[in-house]
Amino acid sequence: MTFTGTATSKSNVSGSGSDLAGFLIGVPDASAISFGNADKYLRQSVYNAYVNDDWRLSPEFSVNAGIRWEFGAPMTELKNRLVNLDLSNDFTAAAPVLASASRGTVTGQQYPDSLLRPYRLGLEPRIGFAWHPNIGGSLVVRGGYGINYDTSVYPSLYLQLAQQAPLSKSLNVQNSAACPLTLASGFNPCALTTQNTFAVDPNLKIGSIQTWTLEVQRDLPWSLQWSGSYLGNKGTHGMQ
């Protein structure tokens, strides 16, 4: 429960109330509570494979290239204690869908136990080069390009999917004339109270980032070295 002095303040006079007085008369200004089973047994399978090689195409030019496949499966819970929302295409209707009863009542879709469908196209190509324009000189030009997928996105999402109604409950109520609070009834749900919820697109695509670099380097007199570089990146399907 929160006491801010609003309940004992004068009408239209900001800061005139006392939080201690509100506590003594038993009138909180807000109350919040969350409860449910905190023991969650989340499971995830992660697989990856890669090939990589170097090619010296000439004394001045060499290439390093490869490709990696990264797959992090959506998580499951040992006792199927996960909840997402089954949403209509126009977002006008929604209903909870549980991993233990994974057919949506709104769309009729059958969801996997993870409630999210896996994304298996996590191919990560990488290529880099080094070029010496003059074998006898110190000038070197290097560059590279690669793609990386964020396979670590699932844990934070599933911690929220595992703590939703009807598996758990949370209330956040503000004291008002329509919803009066007291110490005895501070956690009673008000008719005007909106239940918070959380949902993830069941066809979620894993975010990726493309990175490219270009660097020019050469030696200078007195054991000094000069280098100039450019780094660029572009994110796709990032979390919002």
Domain count across the chain: 1
SS3 content of the chain, % helix, strand, coil (to 5): 5, 40, 50
Banded model confidence at residue 49, pLDDT cuts 50, 70, 90: very high
Q: Is residue 26 part of a domain?
A: yes
Give how far the C-alpha of residue 163 lies from the chain's centroid of Cα atoms, to the nearest Å. Answer: 16
Would 19 be classed as within a structural domain?
Answer: yes
pLDDT in tens, 215-227: 999 888 888 889 9
pLDDT > 70 in the chain, percent? 91
- pLDDT confidence of residue 172: 74
Q: For residue 54, how many C-alpha atoms fall within 13 Å in the half-sphere facing its CB?
A: 6
In a domain, 77, yes or no: no
pLDDT tens digits along 113-167: 999 999 888 899 999 999 988 877 788 999 999 999 988 889 989 988 988 878 7
DSSP code of residue 7:
G
Q: Report if residue 7 sits inside a domain.
A: yes
Predicted pLDDT at 194? 57
Q: Is residue 232 part of a domain?
A: no
pLDDT value of position 195: 64
CA of residue 65 relative to chain centroid, distance: 31
In a domain? residue 189: yes
SS3 156: helix
Q: How many CB atoms lie within 10 A of CB 114?
A: 24
Q: What is the mean pLDDT of residues 46-75?
A: 93
For residue 50, tell me if it sits in a domain: no
Question: Residue 37: which residues within 8 A CB-CB, separation 6 or more?
Answer: 81, 167, 168
Tell me the three state secondary structure of residue 40: coil
Residue with tokens 């309940």: 7
Query: How confident is the model at residue 235, as a pLDDT?
Result: 92
Is residue 25 situated within a structural domain? yes
Q: Are 162 and 40 a contacting pair, CB within 8 Å?
A: yes
Taking residue 2's Cβ as centre, other Cβ atoms within 10 Å add up to: 15
The reported pTM is 0.69
Greatest mean pLDDT among 36-50, 60-74, 94-108, 165-179 lies in: 60-74
Confidence of residue 32 (pLDDT cuts 50, 70, 90): confident
What residue numbers bound the domain in which 28 lies? Answer: 1-36+169-193
